[in-house]
Amino acid sequence: MSNHLKLWICLPVTVLLLSCGVVLAQDSQTEQQGGQVLPPPTIKYVLASPRAALIGPVRAAAARHGRQSAGAENFPRENGEIKIPTGARVVFCLSRNLEGVWYRRSFGRLGASIVLQKRRPCREHPQLEPDIQDIDIADANDITDANGVRHNHWVTIGRDGAGDVRRGPSIGKAKIGVPVLFDRPGVYLLRGIIRTIAVPLYPRPSEEPKPKRPLAAVDRDVVYVKVKVVDLPITQITPDEEPTLEPDIAYILPMPKETSPNDPNQAG
């Protein structure tokens, strides 16, 4: 058999095999898109939407007396709970709108941080497991058992933060978050401790005695999250309750318009 004849016979077979491979790949891709073999998702859970600002003195001469104003607010989320599949990764984070503003003639440090803690299970005393709605932030660190002994059941599993010292005007932004992998089914109680600071500083040293430093603004909040991890695909999971909205959504209000852009202007 000549080489030309062999080539003409092998060419259709090769095309057929390639076609079958494309079909199988499409079927595999369809199967993955059906949610049967896709890996568990990465979920973002926003704990707070911090804002911090420094406002400098109105007059440059007043800077010697440290007349700066500081403000810090976390806009924290309410306590809540989520249900996720086994193997899912949750990033407990601060809002993408995290922002620090140094106004003109201001100088100092702005920053925000998050400390994520997990509550250790009480297998010996399951009655000590608090429900998320009954937690009191003031005494949630320690729990008294039946013998009157206090135990600390919180352990830090991650932390993140960002901050900077600048002279205004300037705007600073940062992404802050702690990723956690839940590879076993169960119920986990976590809490995020959010701290936002605005610390005025002196722009330059002075030979005169330093006046009293302006008070720093510090805001600290604790947000609790109950995470239910179930051994089901993500497509079959229904939440026990509707998740709360973004933390700052309740504070965002439209400002009334003072002029209407639809009214035509009169040319002279």
- Structure confidence by residue, pLDDT tens digits, 128-176: 444 555 554 434 555 555 566 555 678 999 999 999 999 989 999 999 9
Which burial class, exposed, middle or buried, applies to 159 when counting CB atoms under 10 A from its CB (0-12, 13-18, 19+)?
middle
Please tell me the predicted confidence (pLDDT) of residue 125. 40
Q: Would you say residue 3 lies in a domain?
A: no
Task: Please tell me whether residue 62 adopts helix, strand or coil conformation.
Answer: helix
Q: Is the pLDDT of residue 256 over 70?
A: yes
Nearest to 132 by CA among 192, 181, 191: 191
d(CA 251, CA 167): 28
94-132 burial, b at 16+ Cβ within 10 Å, e below that, comes to: bbeebbbbbeebbbbbbbbbbbbbbbeeeeeeeeeebee
* pLDDT (0 to 100) of residue 265: 74
Is 225 a domain residue?
Answer: yes
Distance CA 93, CA 194 (A): 10
Rounded to whole angstroms, the Cα distance separating 10 from 234 reads: 46
Segment 184-202 mean pLDDT: 93
Task: Tell me what the pLDDT averaged over the chain comes to.
Answer: 76
Portion of the chain with pLDDT greater than 90, in percent: 42
- Closest listed residue to residue 130, CA positions, set 115, 117, 119: 119
Token digits of residue 175: 């992404």
Return d(Cα 51, Cα 252) in angstroms, integer. Answer: 13
- For 162, residues 6+ apart whose C-beta sits below 8 A from its C-beta are 98, 111, 112, 113, 174, 176
At residue 24, does pLDDT exceed 70? no
Whether 134 is in a domain gets the answer no
**Global model pTM greater than 0.75:** no
Contact of 225 with 92, CB cutoff 8 Å: yes
d(CA 132, CA 190) in angstroms, rounded, equals 10
141 lies in some domain: no
Task: Report the relative pairing of strands 217-230 and 80-85 from DSSP bridges.
Answer: parallel
Per the structure block, which two tokens stand in for 87?
């193997």
Q: State how many domains the chain has.
A: 1
Contact 176, 104 (CB under 8 A): no
Residue 58 belongs to some domain of the structure: yes
Label residue 263 by pLDDT band (50, 70, 90): confident
Neighbours of 58 (CB within 10 A): 10
Nearest to 230 by CA among 119, 83, 89: 83
Give the distance, in angstroms, between the CA of residue 30 and the centroid of all CA atoms in the same chain: 33
Range of the domain at 184: 38-122+155-244
Q: Mean pLDDT throughout 187-216?
A: 78
Say if 116 falls within a structural domain: yes
Lowest-pLDDT range, 55-59, 94-98, 220-224?
55-59
